Amino acid sequence: MSIVCKSASEIDKMRRSGHIVRQVLEATREAVAPGVSTMDLERVAERKIRDLGAKPAFKGYYDYPCVLCTSVNDEIVHGIPSARRMLKAGDIVSIDCGVVLDGYYGDSAITVPVGDTITPELQKLLEVTRESLFRGIEAARVGNTIGDVGAAVQQLVEANGFSVVREFVGHGIGTRLHEDPQIPNYGTPGHGPKLRDGMVLAIEPMVNVGGPGTRVLDDKWTAVTEDGSYSAHFEHCIAVTRNGPVILTE
């Protein structure tokens, strides 16, 4: 395993790609409504990426066909946009997007409600998953370890009665979408690689209402919960610096 630390000017470039990802996610979020298909979201995102002068990071990555992953309800990650998948009121949809600009990658995800009302349990799922991401970010400090990040995420999630997915993890990011190290959303404080100044990490908790089990559909991409329970996903890229974690995807 080799973890590549980034210089201040490289981190600057990653802030630019991160900022584009943010704008793409915001434009896509605004398009979410009952009756809209996940392919409609894909079109909004693709247009926005090109308008902002970046290239999609996911399309063509291991033959993945789209610029977004759109994962609805019990879908955890890697849902493929489809014109036949209509969003309906009360659904939740996770929107995951990556771009590359000037050789540097950005990657971020949000989960949003469809329509005006989702159940209180789903509301809580979204809040806890988002908050667990920020707990993980807070733990991403020089001298801490990858295990501290995972433990911070896991602790909040499990304290709220939900479970963290084990089979998919966060990752280093830079001149490639996926770099070392892997960043599990569970862990033991003090274990794993030590965090150093200049590391850039994509932290991405995937949280299930029910059990942690997962299964991949016949399309070979879409990961769903084994028990059919709902799942949420939030992701930011952050730089580990001497002044603490800096979010690059906002």
Q: Which of residues 75-94 bind ligand MF3 (CB under 6 A)?
A: 78
**If contact means CB under 5 to 8 A according to the sort of partner, which of ligand MF3, Co ion, none does residue 75 touch?**
none
Of the candidates 44, 49, 69, 72, which one interacts with ligand MF3 according to CB under 6 A? 69
Looking at 87-236, list the stretches that DSSP marks H as alpha helix, in order from N- to C-terminal side.
Answer: 120-139, 146-159
Beta carbons of 234 and 129 less than 8 angstroms apart:
yes
* Beta carbon nearer to ligand MF3, 64 or 131: 64
Stretch that binds ligand MF3, among 26-34, 35-43, 59-67, 181-189 (CB under 6 A): 59-67
Binding mask 15-54 for ligand MF3 (x = CB under 6 A): ----------------------------------------
CB of residue 169 to ligand MF3, shortest distance in Å: 9
Return the number of other C-beta atoms located less than 10 Å from residue 22's C-beta.
Answer: 19
**3-class DSSP state of 179:** strand
Q: How far is the CB of 34 from Co ion (least distance, A)?
A: 28
Judge whether 70 and 42 are in contact, CB under 8 Å: yes
The sheet with strand 163-164 has its strands ordered as 163-164, 206-208, 231-233
Q: Report the site for ligand MF3 in 167-206 (rule: CB under 6 A).
A: 171, 202
Among 64, 167, 213, 246, binds ligand MF3 (CB under 6 A): 64
The mark string for 228-247 relative to ligand MF3 (x by CB under 6 A, - otherwise) is -------x------------
Helix (H) / strand (E) containing 240: strand 236-241
CA distance 165 to 31: 28
Q: Which is nearer to ligand MF3, 2 or 62 (CB)?
A: 62
Residue closest to 157 by CA, chosen among 127, 182, 137: 127
Tokens, residue 238: 């952050």
Interface with Co ion (CB under 5 A): 107, 202
Single out the residue of 96, 154, 157, 225 in contact with ligand MF3 (rule: CB under 6 A): 96
Q: Which is nearer to ligand MF3, 109 or 159 (CB)?
A: 109
List CB contacts of 220: < 8 A, sequence separation 6 or more.
none
Dihedral sign (CA 201, 54, 109, 227):
negative
Q: Which does 40 bind (CB under 5 to 8 A by kind): Co ion, ligand MF3, none?
A: none
**Distance from C-alpha of 49 to C-alpha of 117, rounded to nearest angstrom:** 30
- Three-class DSSP category at 27: helix
Binding site for ligand MF3 (CB under 6 A): 58, 61-62, 64, 69, 78, 96, 107, 109, 171, 202, 235
